[in-house]
């Protein structure tokens, strides 16, 4: 029997779980996938937006600006990368100038600090590689970049440190209410709880229909991206936007916290909530749009393409709060962009709502807000590397050459409280396989380590969820079967 169950282990669900763990209650998190951050939390622009492009007075605006202000503290507490590098929205003509003037005025209403409209000369001094045909830009110094999946993993691990239980691979099939208790049937068992916090992303309207709560619809909106090799990571030093459209913030060009260059996304409403395919026309659109920002940008150094799906609510805003129809049900739904930026604030906001609703729970006197991440071997100096290797010589064995990831890092990822048991889960925690060869060299070695450390047969190791097996069996056994 749980006091509260969070449905969904994306960045929003994990942020709420972490904040709820400040209270002396029993908390569970149900996630249909085999790891956290497998949906839109693991496939987005990784931008911590300033908050100027959210409609004034909206929940999006409030959570964005509040969440942005929390990132310096949260990133230090959870040992995740965050860089407050600022953002620019470029204007190429008078129509664009009118748009950035509107964004400037809206940002002031939203309380975004430090906004300025800069001249073309000022912008080109800051970013000499961008299109020299610009006439001005909106400068937002509070914008930043982070790693969304590292943040999600960190929030989950810190929640576990503080007593939260995670149930991965537990897809919700049905929910019924019996008096004041919810009975949740999942693919791997049943759960009882007093309160439910619905953070199921693109499936949050499906969860709501099971309960018979307020009607809303989630529209899946796919965005495609191109990721470049790190040698292009210094082409721009800030997040560079073009003026937004009705479908989103437009195609951006940005450095990542790990030194790559990222361009995208497009924005296409789709019918299937799990369609994360990429398309030639979609990627061509992204590249063509990015050329307007950086005319010299080539395609040769793209090392990966991917897409993510945003959960866009038909209400036009985040859906946050307690249900008026179902006592004990809370919503954190329709969290599209700027959801990553807003995540720390949404966590606090929703935990406070549950606290006030429950009325008889106490703050946990021994809550620990700190979590130490896996050492980032590539970023250490020689003295730090030497010390780490002396403590455990497996940190001296390089497994992923592209990203300089060691055996020690991979073993730690496998054996942490939220263990990484798939190739993608290890990638999200260590960056093994994220380099130029995209795991071509290191995947077999990682499989051997998983087999050795956890006893998972090689033909049962998956890339991610479902039946994404990497090998089907031994060659000799296959040949014998053919005879």
211 occurs within a structural domain: yes
| Structural domain includes residue 165 | yes
Residue 138 belongs to a domain with what CATH number?
3.30.9.10
Whether residue 483 is predicted with pLDDT greater than 80 in this model: the reply is: no
Nearest to residue 47, comparing CAs of 257, 236, 287? 257
- Residue-wise pLDDT for 317-353, tens only, equals 999 999 999 999 999 999 999 999 999 999 999 999 9
**Number of domains the chain is built from:** 3
Please state, as a whole number, how many other Cβ atoms lie within 10 Å of the Cβ of residue 94.
9
Q: SS3 of 390, please?
A: helix
Residue 400 three-state SS: strand
**Which CATH number goes with the domain that contains 340?**
3.50.50.60
148 lies in the same domain as 202: yes
Do the domain assignments include residue 55? yes
Range in 225-234, 240-249, 306-315, 380-389 with the lowest mean pLDDT: 240-249
Q: Is 49 one of the annotated active-site residues of the chain?
A: yes
Q: Which residues lie below 8 Å from residue 144, measured CB to CB, with a gap of 6+?
A: 47, 48, 68, 71, 82, 83, 84, 85, 86
Confidence of residue 8 (pLDDT cuts 50, 70, 90): very high
61: pLDDT strictly greater than 90:
yes
Are 281 and 382 part of one and the same domain? no
pLDDT (0 to 100) of residue 145: 98
Domain with 137 in it: 83-143+219-311
Q: Is residue 293 located within the same domain as residue 387? A: no
Instruction: For residue 186, tell me if it sits in a domain.
Output: yes
Query: Is the residue at 364 inside a domain?
Result: yes
Q: Would you state the pLDDT for residue 467?
A: 80
pLDDT in tens, 151-164: 999 999 999 999 99
Residues 233 and 277 in one domain: yes
- Asked, for residue 126, whether it belongs to a domain, the answer is yes
Q: How confident is the model at residue 360 (pLDDT cuts 50, 70, 90)?
A: confident
Q: 194 lies in a domain? A: yes
Domain-ending residue, one of 356, 373, 390: 373
Residues 327 and 451 reside in one and the same domain: no
Residues 269 and 414 in one domain: no
Domain's final residue, options 342, 373, 404: 373
Residues 330 and 452 in one domain: no
| C-alpha distance from residue 443 to each of 437, 468, 471 (Å) | 10, 14, 11
Banded model confidence at residue 84, pLDDT cuts 50, 70, 90:
very high
- Judge whether residue 287 has pLDDT over 60: yes
163 and 184 in a common domain: yes
Write down which residue in 353, 373, 393 finishes a domain.
373
CA distances from 391 to 227, 251, 394, 452, 467 (A): 35, 45, 9, 21, 38
483 within domain boundaries: no
> Quick one: pLDDT band at residue 213, thresholds 50, 70, 90?
confident
The single residue of 49, 221, 249, 292 carrying the catalytic annotation is 49
Q: Does the pLDDT of residue 477 top 70, yes or no?
A: no
DSSP 128: T
Give which of 215, 73, 87, 209 is closest to 145, Cα–Cα.
87
Q: Does 167 lie in the same domain as 132?
A: no
Q: Are residues 264 and 407 in the same domain?
A: no
- Can you give the pLDDT at residue 472? 81
The span from the CA of 61 to the CA of 111, in Å, is 9
Global pTM reads 0.96
Q: Give the tens place of pLDDT for each residue, 86-130.
A: 999 999 999 999 999 999 999 999 999 999 999 999 999 999 999
pLDDT tens readout for residues 242-273? 988 665 678 999 999 999 999 999 999 999 99
301 in the same domain as 232 = yes
For the chain, how big is the Rg over CA atoms in Å? Answer: 23
Across the range 350-373, mean pLDDT stands at 96
* Residues 62 and 153 occupy one common structural domain: yes
């Amino acid at each position: 029997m749980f006091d509260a169950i969070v449905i969904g282990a994306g960045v929003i669900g994990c942020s709420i779980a972490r904040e709820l763990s400040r209270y002396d209650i029993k908390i569970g998190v149900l996630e249909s996938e085999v790891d956290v951050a497998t949906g839109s939390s693991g496939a987005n622009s990784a931008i911590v937006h300033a908050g100027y492009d959210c409609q004034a007075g909206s929940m999006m605006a409030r959570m964005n600006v509040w969440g942005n202000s929390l990132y310096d503290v949260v990133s230090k507490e959870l040992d995740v990368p965050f860089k407050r590098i600022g953002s620019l929205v470029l204007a190429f003509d008078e129509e664009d100038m009118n748009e950035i003037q509107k964004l400037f005025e809206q940002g002031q209403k939203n309380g975004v600090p430090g906004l300025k409209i800069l001249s073309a000369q000022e912008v080109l001094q800051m970013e000499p590689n961008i299109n020299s045909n610009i006439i001005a830009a909106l400068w937002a110094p509070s914008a930043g970049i982070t790693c969304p999946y590292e943040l999600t993993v960190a929030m989950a691990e810190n929640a576990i440190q503080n007593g939260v239980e995670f149930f991965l691979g537990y897809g919700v099939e049905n929910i019924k209410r019996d008096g004041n208790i919810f009975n949740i049937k999942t693919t791997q068992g049943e759960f009882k709880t007093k309160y439910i916090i619905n953070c199921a992303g693109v499936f949050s309207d499906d969860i709501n229909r099971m309960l018979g709560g307020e009607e809303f619809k989630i529209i899946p909106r796919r965005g495609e991206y191109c990721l470049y090799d790190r040698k292009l990571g210094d082409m721009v030093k800030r997040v560079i936007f073009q003026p937004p459209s009705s479908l989103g913030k437009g195609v951006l060009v940005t450095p990542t916290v790990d030194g790559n260059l990222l361009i995208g996304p497009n924005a296409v409403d789709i019918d299937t909530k799990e369609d994360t395919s990429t398309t030639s026309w979609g990627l061509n659109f992204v590249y063509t749009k990015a050329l307007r920002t950086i005319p010299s940008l080539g395609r040769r150094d793209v090392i990966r393409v991917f897409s993510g799906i945003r959960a866009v609510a038909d209400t036009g805003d985040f859906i946050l709060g307690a249900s008026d129809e179902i006592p004990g049900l809370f919503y954190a739904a329709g969290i599209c962009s700027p959801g990553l930026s807003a995540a720390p604030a949404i966590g606090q906001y929703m935990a406070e709502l549950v606290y006030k609703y429950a009325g008889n729970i106490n703050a946990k006197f021994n809550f620990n807000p700190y979590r130490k991440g896996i050492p980032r071997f590539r970023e250490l100096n020689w003295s730090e590397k030497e010390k780490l290797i002396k403590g455990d010589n497996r940190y001296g064995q390089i497994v992923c050459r592209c990203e300089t990831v060691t055996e020690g890092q991979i073993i730690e990822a496998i054996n942490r409280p939220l263990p990484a048991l798939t190739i993608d889960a290890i990638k999200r925690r260590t960056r093994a396989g994220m380099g130029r060869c995209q795991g071509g060299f290191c995947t077999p070695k990682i499989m051997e380590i998983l087999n050795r450390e956890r006893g998972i047969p090689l033909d049962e190791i998956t890339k991610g969820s479902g039946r994404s097996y990497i090998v089907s069996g031994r060659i000799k056994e296959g040949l014998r079967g053919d005879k």
